[in-house]
Structure 1
Amino acid sequence: MAGRSVSLSELQAQGDRLTWLEGRPLEKGRTALVCQEKEDAPFDLLPPAYDIGTRVHEYGGGAYRISPSGRVVFSERRSNAVLLREPDGRIVPLAVREGCRYADFSFSADESGVFAVCEDHSMPGEPRAAIVWLDERTERALVQGDDFYAAPRLSPDGGHLCWIAWSHPDMPWDATRLGAAALVWKDGEPELEKRRLLGNADRAVSYVDPVWEDNETLLVSSDETGIWRPCRFRPAESPIPRFLPDPGGESGFPHWVFGQTSLRPLPGGRILAQIVSEGLSRTRLFEAGAWRDLSLGAPAQVPVFLPEREEYAWIDTPPDRPPAIVRGHPETVLRSAFAFPPGIDAQDCARPEALTFPVSDGGQAHALFYPPCSRTHALAPGEKPPLVVMAHGGPTGRASTAFSFKVQWWTSRGFAVLDVNYRGSTGFGRAYRTALEGQWGVRDVEDCIAGVRHVVASGRVDPARCVIRGSSAGGLTVLMALARSDVFAAGCSLYGVTDLRALAEDTHKFESRYLDRLIGPYPEQETLYLDRSPLTHVDAITAPVLFLHGDEDKVVPLDQARSMHKRLQDLGRRTELHVYPGESHGFRQRETLQDSFARELDFYRRIFMAE
């Protein structure tokens, strides 16, 4: 399926027009901009020479924006150029600087230019961030001084601009500052006046996903009450928020990438929100002072609204069908990420069961359990399935119920899967999210081991054939779990962290202080960094380990995998390392996707056969 599947992201709407991004492995991982108008078939808005994307904060997102008149501003991944596609198809360059990256665009009211986040890599040291104005003639910095910025959003009348900012050592889910200012124009260029910070300056509060509800009212998710929850600001009147009634879950996402949307104002004072409760997502509508559920399938983020038809469109992500762009109803598919092969349908897809199980300190952790699933193949009579435990990346993230090849690959081959939402995951409130502070490499590991013991005790899986896999931060969890327990027969680290000291000294700006809370300040806590690093505990790892890594990874450099692999080799342990040329942090190319899954499956099979 790797060559026939596309990724779907960043759905936007203007009038009755929908646009979205498609990542295409068959085109060497290129991301295309696709458009659908009225009842017409979807088509590419840009020639194949353009690859839409940005590497601001390395993880990117927010790589394009469409205006009411149909103009499109976008970032070209390979050149970092910011270009403007006119409605007649002409491509016009905007005035950007060499060595800079741009993301999270917003058009001015007259569409003469755009506001954007700029990350300047042109000087030695850490890149500098700013919110800038771009047009065809000039670039001008409007807001600067903080380490990071996101979400420059213009009020409907163009009279106000808002943004969020944060600085080291905070990550955006720890604390951000919400800013707003009046926007005035002098000689055709914007200036900001009456700048103010909103909210409680005495508390660490994470504000995410700001959007203007009208010309005077700003809607944003704040975790001041313990969960990300919608609140309203009227900046001209007061810096104090007014919280909406509890929506029954969290209304925000951790800001790993730009372009995420969890709140959407609707006509008549209504609000649409994407809510996560106990790790599960649903769509809710705020109307007449109360929240109610909407039956809109399984949107990845809050749906867009099409006013001409009074209907919604969204990226539908059910657990047993391909992700798809849908309009009005989950069955009205405009574009599907892939088509099932002949003879395969939803009945061959495992569906998740949400589990809660006890962990250390008398607490609880969460996971999604998937049993093996196939109409044409079965385990031997009385055989319990092997288990693949998955440790998500981040570690500030969560396991999702959306259809996933990395889940269905295993369940269709007789494996059960346990996707663990260990302490530190999002979707369970701030207290659960911060439970990993100072405890990374401890509580996440404990929770993965406890999850295995829980499903083993319930008789669901074969205790002798449990393996663990994880990518990025999840790779550290994998390796530490192998060092601290004997419940796993093998493990796979995909571009995973092995040496926390090296990571603290050699990673990109966005995450360069991430470990201050997860571990402790470096180098003051160097001893703790050593203790939490898998590389320190190589002697304790006796189970076989597979390492898969790209040679262009700037987030977790390849040397992390190479060092761990060599140490295991020197000890005579069973270990394999495979490096994928041209891949960075996360695999995108068709050949890589195919080989990595097949290689990992073969690795486990050989271990099971040997035992």
Structure 2
Amino acid sequence: MSTLPYGTWPSPISPEHLTSGVTKLIDVWVDGDRTVWHEGRPSEGGRQTLVVADADGTTRDLLDPPFNVRSGVHEYGGGAAWVESNTAWFVDWDEQRIWYVDLDGGEPIPLTPELEQPRSVRYADLRPSPDGHWLVAVQEVHDTDDPHHVVNRVVALPARTPGVPHVIHGEHDFVMSPRFVAADRIRFVAWNHPNMPWNDTDLMECSFDPQHGTTGTPRRIATGSSFMQPDGDVVIGDRDGVWNLWRVDADGEHAVSSGPDEVGGPAWIFGLRDHAVLPDGRRVWATGGRLVVDGEPIDTGAAALEQLAPGDGTLTAIVRWSDRPSTITRFDVTSGESVDVVAAPDTPLRDGDASTPEQIAFPTAGGATAYGWFYAPANADTDAPVDDRPPLVVMIHGGPTSCARPWFSLATQFWTTRGFAVVDVDHRGSTGYGTEFRNMLDGNWGVVDVEDCIAAATFLADQGRVDGDRVVIRGGSAGGFTVLACLATSDVFAAGACSYGIADLSVLAADTHKFEARYTDRLIGPWPEARDVYEERSPIHHLDRFETPLVVFQGLDDKVVPPNQSEMIVDALRAKQVECEYHAYEGEGHGFRRAETIVHQMNAELAFYRRILGL
């Protein structure tokens, strides 16, 4: 065992390990004796494809390049494919058209028309009718002359005959989760600005004629809750202050599940599936790593179960573990026994290298409590001097309506194996703690998130678990905004890393995509009436206290947080001679997908911290 200062340990994880041979598991389906999954591949420039595991266990790609299974609706996408009845329907990234292909192979066939302006009409959340003759989807239409004019609606089209979809509903600003809840009924979720799908939404229903594909006028059947994922008469809602399952029928609303552990999470993307119905009629759902079958829990030992795919007496899911990479695993819903359909890939970690998450609760401003996941340094071959304390990497999730996830991540182990401690902060406003905690961010973005990140670092330093003089902070998107706000208003942090973060909230309010165009009305105040508050919360207007070294990473194709946000803070800090590195990437959008970008970012960020901290 070698003895070296924290932060200088040799690590078995290189930046290349974060992308080489790594796939991102996105979705999974069970279709007869086949399992099909959707995966992303950094090594192929972030391309996403569908993979089929046949009955004999052999696997094959269903779609070859240049097909890239990814939706552009809301810019964040999701719900880009559906598999059923030996058919895969999918959205291709380049043109955003819907295609279908037989699982036995063959050439994919386009269903929606080719457009003069590619990507001007986009699709997501595809679902076939029970008889397989029709398809419903979310359609997003972009005005080619006015980029700020975008229309979202529910449409239907023949499932295997090319044609023009017909509109079912386009009266709300947004729609999500159109589902055939019976042969003759469709339900979907809809909402208007300034709400987001985790605020007040409407649960809508319309009749459907399966012979002609026509629909009746949609009507609102429930409102005033955050409804998500309708499946039959059951939907996720937060009527009792926690996301639970509710049955909505002619007799009203009735709780199906209860308790403090939430079912599902915020609908940033389409296609989430946190509950389902087995062929025998039993309902299954997941809360964290616990599988529940008609109210009977099965402890799987996992950190989370996602994209539930029911089978005959089985439930297949993407499984997130705290101590190893994700798998696709099939559970027997009676015995709880399981088998991996897609096993966890090998990692370079040795016994003793992995750091597992420890949940912490800590006091913060105003007598409140915030939460986080703490990862101690771990290395099989190296320890630190007994009087040394590790530098701390404070991580902030995006959103900001989202949460830190205690899932195994090589990107987290990248830091801990080098002798850094990590805390992944769930500030007030994070999800997973109920509606009241989630709503604590309303009107307080740029305040409570900043207070809680500072409180997390101070709490761990006061406990003697980290070196309070060597604390760095990193985050992307909304988390990048919190990084900038922390550095502009405090001296707790020795350095920061901001990925596609927000420097000027006023500029963002006037120049972002439709989905989040009014998000800040709730987080900060109505725009432009609350302009003074926007300016007060914007890091670009607090440069007088901003002296902390910063490294900035930005995708030049980002439509959510445009490059001008990174460029303005970089230019301002350089003008006042604050140390600031800037790395911009052609072809990258909101969130980096290409292997070369990820490798470059991690190398640059590590070198930056080590130089600033003198490691």
- Report TM bin, short chain: over 0.9
Question: What does residue 14 of structure 2 align with?
Answer: none
Question: What does residue 149 of structure 1 align with?
Answer: 175
Question: What does residue 256 of structure 2 align with?
Answer: 244
Shift of 1:262: 1.2
Shift of 1:267: 4.6
CA deviations 1:305-342 (Å, max 9, x no partner) are 221xx22222121122111222338973333464213x
Read off the aligned partner of 1:143 and give its amino acid letter. Answer: H
Shift of 1:302: 5.2
Residues 247 and 519 (structure 1 numbering): CA distance in 2 closer, same or farther, change over 3 Å?
same
The DSSP-based 3-state class of the residue aligned with 2:99 is: strand
Question: What does residue 209 of structure 1 align with?
Answer: 229
Question: What does residue 215 of structure 1 align with?
Answer: none
Residue 213 of structure 2: which of 190, 193, 201 is its match?
190
Shift of 1:16: 2.7
Matched, 1:120 2:127: no
C-alpha distance in 2, partners of 1:560/1:245? 43
Residue 225 of structure 1: which of 240, 264, 282 is its match?
240
Larger deviation, residues 331-340 vs 506-515: 331-340
Matched, 1:66 2:83: yes
Larger deviation, residues 327-336 vs 388-397: 327-336
The DSSP-based 3-state class of the residue aligned with 1:23 is: strand
Matched, 1:176 2:193: no
Question: What does residue 311 of structure 1 align with?
Answer: 314
Residue 323 of structure 1: which of 323, 326, 329 is its match?
326
Query: Greater RCO between the two (CA within 8 Å, min separation 6)?
Result: 2
Residues 588 and 87 (structure 1 numbering): CA distance in 2 closer, same or farther, change over 3 Å?
closer
Cα pair 1:299 1:314 within 8 Å, conserved:
no
Matched, 1:339 2:352: no
- Equivalent pairs counted in the alignment come to 584
Question: What does residue 274 of structure 1 align with?
Answer: 286
CA deviations 1:140-182 (Å, max 9, x no partner) are 11111111111111135x2211100011111000111101122
C-alpha distance in 2, partners of 1:577/1:194? 52
CA deviations 1:468-512 (Å, max 9, x no partner) are 000000011111111222111000101111110111010000000
Read off the aligned partner of 1:112 and give its amino acid letter. Answer: H
Question: What does residue 278 of structure 1 align with?
Answer: none
Question: What does residue 91 of structure 2 align with?
Answer: 75
Shift of 1:303: 3.2
Question: What does residue 163 of structure 2 align with?
Answer: 137
Cα pair 1:425 1:432 within 8 Å, conserved:
yes
Residues 331 and 196 (structure 1 numbering): CA distance in 2 closer, same or farther, change over 3 Å?
closer
Shift of 1:345: 3.8
Q: What is the RMSD computed on CA atoms of the aligned residues? A: 1.8
C-alpha distance in 2, partners of 1:160/1:209? 15
The DSSP-based 3-state class of the residue aligned with 2:414 is: helix
Larger deviation, residues 332-341 vs 14-23: 332-341
Query: % of aligned pairs identical?
Result: 37
Residue 541 of structure 2: which of 520, 536, 539 is its match?
536
Cα pair 2:262 2:434 within 8 Å, conserved:
yes
Read off the aligned partner of 1:550 and give its amino acid letter. Answer: G
Give the TM-score normalised by structure 1: 0.92
The DSSP-based 3-state class of the residue aligned with 1:560 is: helix
Shift of 1:49: 2.1
C-alpha distance in 1, partners of 2:505/2:269? 23
Residue 46 of structure 2: which of 19, 29, 36 is its match?
29
Matched, 1:46 2:63: yes
Larger deviation, residues 88-97 vs 456-465: 88-97
Cα pair 1:274 1:302 within 8 Å, conserved:
no
C-alpha distance in 1, partners of 2:610/2:189? 49
Residues 461 and 345 (structure 1 numbering): CA distance in 2 closer, same or farther, change over 3 Å?
same
Unaligned runs of 5+ in 1: 213-217, 276-280
CA deviations 1:555-600 (Å, max 9, x no partner) are 0011111110110011111111111111100000011111101100
C-alpha distance in 1, partners of 2:510/2:176? 25
Matched, 1:474 2:474: no
- 1:163-562 alignment to 2 at 5 Å? 163-185=188-210, 189-193=212-216, 195-199=218-222, 201=223, 204-212=224-232, 218-234=233-249, 237-238=250-251, 240-275=252-287, 281-287=288-294, 290-295=295-300, 297-301=302-306, 303-307=308-312, 310-328=313-331, 332-336=339-343, 338-341=345-348, 344-345=349-350, 347-562=352-567
Question: What does residue 10 of structure 2 align with?
Answer: none
Read off the aligned partner of 2:478 and give its amino acid letter. Answer: A
Shift of 1:270: 2.7
Cα pair 1:272 1:283 within 8 Å, conserved:
no
Cα pair 1:548 1:578 within 8 Å, conserved:
yes
Cα pair 2:139 2:155 within 8 Å, conserved:
yes
Read off the aligned partner of 1:30 and give its amino acid letter. Answer: R
Residues 302 and 73 (structure 1 numbering): CA distance in 2 closer, same or farther, change over 3 Å?
closer
Question: What does residue 130 of structure 2 align with?
Answer: 109
The DSSP-based 3-state class of the residue aligned with 1:153 is: strand
Read off the aligned partner of 1:131 and give its amino acid letter. Answer: V
Residues 336 and 592 (structure 1 numbering): CA distance in 2 closer, same or farther, change over 3 Å?
farther
Cα pair 2:570 2:582 within 8 Å, conserved:
yes
Cα pair 1:16 1:306 within 8 Å, conserved:
no
Shift of 1:32: 1.1
Cα pair 1:180 1:198 within 8 Å, conserved:
yes
Shift of 1:245: 4.2
C-alpha distance in 1, partners of 2:46/2:414? 21
Shift of 1:139: 1.4
Read off the aligned partner of 2:37 and give its amino acid letter. Answer: W
Cα pair 1:492 1:545 within 8 Å, conserved:
yes
The DSSP-based 3-state class of the residue aligned with 2:20 is: helix
C-alpha distance in 1, partners of 2:230/2:389? 48
The DSSP-based 3-state class of the residue aligned with 2:53 is: strand
Unaligned runs of 5+ in 2: 1-16
Read off the aligned partner of 2:189 and give its amino acid letter. Answer: I
Give the TM-score normalised by structure 2: 0.92
C-alpha distance in 2, partners of 1:248/1:38? 40
Shift of 1:274: 1.7
Question: What does residue 598 of structure 1 align with?
Answer: 603
The DSSP-based 3-state class of the residue aligned with 2:214 is: strand
Cα pair 2:350 2:380 within 8 Å, conserved:
no
Question: What does residue 576 of structure 2 align with?
Answer: 571
C-alpha distance in 2, partners of 1:471/1:56? 21
Shift of 1:15: 2.5
CA deviations 1:261-309 (Å, max 9, x no partner) are 111123554322122xxxxx2323243xx442332634441532221xx
CA deviations 1:410-463 (Å, max 9, x no partner) are 101100001000001000000000001000000000001011111111110011
The DSSP-based 3-state class of the residue aligned with 2:198 is: coil
Read off the aligned partner of 1:323 and give its amino acid letter. Answer: S
Shift of 1:87: 4.2
C-alpha distance in 2, partners of 1:111/1:312? 22
Cα pair 2:290 2:298 within 8 Å, conserved:
yes
C-alpha distance in 2, partners of 1:406/1:528? 35
